[in-house]
Structure 1
Amino acid sequence: MAYRRAVIPALVGGLLITLLLWWAGASAQALQLRGSTSVFDVDSVNELRRWLTPWSYDPSTALPSDGSVGTGTDGGGGGTRYSELYRTAMQIRFVTLFAFFVAGALLLLRRMPPTQGRTPATLLALWAWGPVAATLAVTVSAPWLIASRGRGSYRVLPQLAGVIASSGPVAVFAGLATALLTVVVARVTAKGAVPLPRRSVPPRAARTAAGVGTAVVAVSLVVLSYQSVAAWIQTSFSGAGLLSEPGDLLRQWLLLGAWSGPSTMSFGHWLLYRAADVVLLAVVWWSLRLLPGLLTRTTAPAMVLGAVCATVLGLLASQVLHMAVDDTAAVWGPVHVFSALGTGVPAALTFGVMSGLAALATLRLAGDRDPLPSAVVPA
């Protein structure tokens, strides 16, 4: 699909996910009303507030109300400046969310148009890209948000890790709705274009590339996420000054999960949780196996973006399986079941990029040079 055809659905998707998350943030204030606990239980209200607050444009829902922000020699003026700084952070967050989603969607629609049997793959890739765009937007706006809390120089890296982790399940749900509409618009704009056939990739090369890419993801999921290794990452890097205590931030961008031996639970329950890890790797392998044939051209940006989306999809699949075996709903409320949805996206981004590059290098070494037929002219 040519850029002039892909730009319209990409812009529509970027606008929709921005509006959905803005609307979600605007709903956070409603949870502070007295009647909210009559609809949901207290634990569910608190959990929903945690989901929505990172996208709230109103400083009163996010900044401390105990006077810890803005108290100084300038009286109430300090609080006003912190509120303005918070609004600036949210403006940056929503603008970068729009920009990141449009950029990724444009590349996905360009290299994986929803035609020739690619529609389900395009839909899933766009859905996975939604939480990634939200995570990137939260990361870019984090310095302003931390400064608006009035303690920007105190434990900067742990604060940064906490802000990045706050994207939450709401981005996953917004990403799904956005992907559906984006694909519908893309199919409309693709009408009349010369269809680009799916590429023929040697099966052995595709399987080898998928295996190499999955092995890269397994380094995070199996090796780095093991309890003792994760503890070493947490404690071995001390840093100094503003860069002190980087452990939380490193774990966030390097660990796709967390696991240990079956000593703390029954062996059957332990195997059930490990099955979720197997599902993650299986989804990644299968996605990378199909990815070269789904793309119109296996360029480095397309392979990297596709691998990132594949890793996020695997992560979401494993989290859904965890939700199915979770027995905490009766204790914390039904909303708590979805609380882990969307966690681990920073690590999925890190290892998805490396996985895509490794898979592309393997394809090239296997002789797949990605020729574009001269008779095919993109519309």
Structure 2
Amino acid sequence: MTYRRAAIPALIGGLLLTALLWWAGSSADALQLPGSGGTLGTGAVAELQRWLTPWAYDPPVFLDSGAQASGYVPDTSGGDHRDHYGGLYTTGLQIRYGAVLVAFVLGALLLVRRLPPVRGRTTAAFLALWAWGAVAGTLALAVSAPWMIASMGHGSYRLLPQLANVIAGGRQLPVAVSLVAAGATVLVARITAGGAGPLPRTDVPVRAARLAATAGTAVIALSVVVLSYQRVAAALQEFSPDGGLLSEPGDLLRQWLLLGAWDGPAGGPLGDWLLYRASDVLLLAVVWWALSRLPGLLTRVTLPAMAVGAVCVTVLGLLAAQLLRIAVVQAGPQQDLLYSTAGIGNGIPAALTCGLVAGAVATTVLRLSLRGAPDPAA
């Protein structure tokens, strides 16, 4: 599929994703209405606020120059510059929405072109676009974070921990609304692909595909098994250069490198420990299975397509592991659905980092294993 044909569904999906995030963020004020707690429950209202507030377009109440509320740090000279900080907040939100649109369109453009939803690839394309929508939300949060931090009036204080905190907020909403955006993108892509001619799959030997998948999964396992081990994670947390804006990078390093967290049974029930570890096994199994099939689904195996595909695969494995953990470990009669899903979307920054590396490694191994063999069909 040409870029011209792929651009239409990618743009429509990006606009829909942005519009849904804006609509959901604009609905955050409704949770403040009298009776919302009685109707939905105080716990559900609090959880929904955590979902929606990072995408709410209205500035926080403490940035209202006429309000007396906590959260605003006044200027050292005693002046009240909340109008200025409110402008920074609005600019940050504009950058956030613009970034989510650009990030989704660029990724969807590549995915729709190399993984068109035809010839048995519809489900794979839908899942990849869903995962990429969640990644686009994370990228938007990261890009807009400096403006959001500056709008609080204390941007130079513990900058890196603040960056990690801003990026961690609002991760659940893109995961949810990306389902709709992915479905719309696939639907439009199937229409635009109608006259695109044959879109063949790449002919990749099974052994080469499995070898590449094993190499890529090893990168993910490095994060899940080694870096996520409690002692290693603690060492990352404690690492800090001396002073300056780059001090205390531990939270940010863990956010972008760790796909989980684990330790030994430590005297607890072995069965519970194994249940928690089952989610890690599921993550690695999903990554290996999907990576082994990915080269054969692409119209052409390229480094960008494999890298973005590996990111989507890692996000899907992460979400599958989190859903398993919710269903088997966290679910219970005392926990409502929203509370149980509070951890959805955790680890997406690390999935982006590790997925890009895994995709590059898998592509390299695949090309080396195919060296001397007939070129696969483009």
How far is the alpha carbon of 1:109 from its aligned partner? 0.4
Partner of 2:368 in structure 1?
A: 365
- Shift of residue 331, structure 1, vs aligned partner: 4.4
Of 170, 174, 179 in structure 2, the residue corresponding to residue 176 of structure 1 is 179
1:137 maps to: 140
| Counterpart for residue 10 of structure 2 | 10
Unaligned 5+ segments in structure 1 are none
Q: Give the partner amino acid of 2:13.
A: G
Offset, 1:236: 2.6
Distance 1:251 1:70 in 2: 28
Q: What is the identity, as a one-letter code, of the residue corresponding to 1:231?
A: A
Specify the alignment match of 2:220 in structure 1. 217
Aligned equivalents of 2:227 and 2:74: distance in 1?
A: 43
Is the 8 Å Cα contact of residues 229 and 261 (structure 2) preserved in structure 1? Answer: yes
Map of 1:353 onto structure 2: 356
Q: Distance in 1 between matches of 2:363 and 2:352?
A: 16
1:200 aligns with 2:203: yes
**What TM-score comes out, normalization by structure 2 length?**
0.94
Cα distance in structure 2, aligned partners of 1:11 and 1:53: 26
Question: CA offsets per residue over residues 314-357 of structure 1, 9 Å max, x none?
Answer: 00000000110244654453311111111100000010001000
Aligned partners of 1:370 and 1:245: how far apart in 2?
A: 51
* TM-superposed deviation, 1:199: 1.5
Superposed displacement of residue 42, structure 1: 1.4
Alignment match, 1:95: 98
Please give the residue correspondences for 1:277-356 in structure 2 after superposition, counting only pairs within 5 Å: 277-327=280-330, 330-331=333-334, 333-356=336-359
* CA–CA distance in structure 2, aligned partners of residues 87 and 165 of structure 1: 19
What are structure 2's unaligned runs of at least 5 residues?
none
Q: Over residues 161-206 of structure 1, what are the superposed CA-to-partner deviations in whole Å (9 max), with x where a residue is unaligned?
A: 0011113211101111110111001001111211211111111100
Q: Which amino acid aligns with 1:112?
A: L
- Taking every aligned residue pair, what percent have the same amino acid on both sides? 57
Return the match for 2:250 from 229, 247, 250: 247
Q: What is the SS of the residue equivalent to 2:259? A: coil
Q: Would you say how many aligned residue pairs link Structure 1 and Structure 2? A: 373
Q: Confirm or deny: 8 A CA contact 1:53 1:62 kept in the other structure.
A: no
1:160 alignment partner in structure 2: 163
Q: Counterparts of 2:26 and 2:164 in 1: how far apart (Å)?
A: 24
Aligned to 1:82, which of 67, 79, 85? Answer: 85
Instruction: Confirm whether residue 273 of structure 1 aligns to residue 276 of structure 2.
Output: yes
Compared with structure 1, are the counterparts of its residues 128 and 66 closer, same or farther at alpha carbon in structure 2 (3 Å cutoff)?
A: same
Query: How many Å separate the matches in 2 of 1:240 and 1:307?
Result: 36
Describe the shift of the 1:345–1:63 C-alpha distance in structure 2 as closer, same or farther (beyond 3 A): farther
Check if 1:45 corresponds to 2:48: no
CA distance in 2, matches of 1:307, 1:277: 17
- Residue 33 of structure 1 deviates from its aligned partner by 1.5
For 2:229, the equivalent position in structure 1 comes to 226
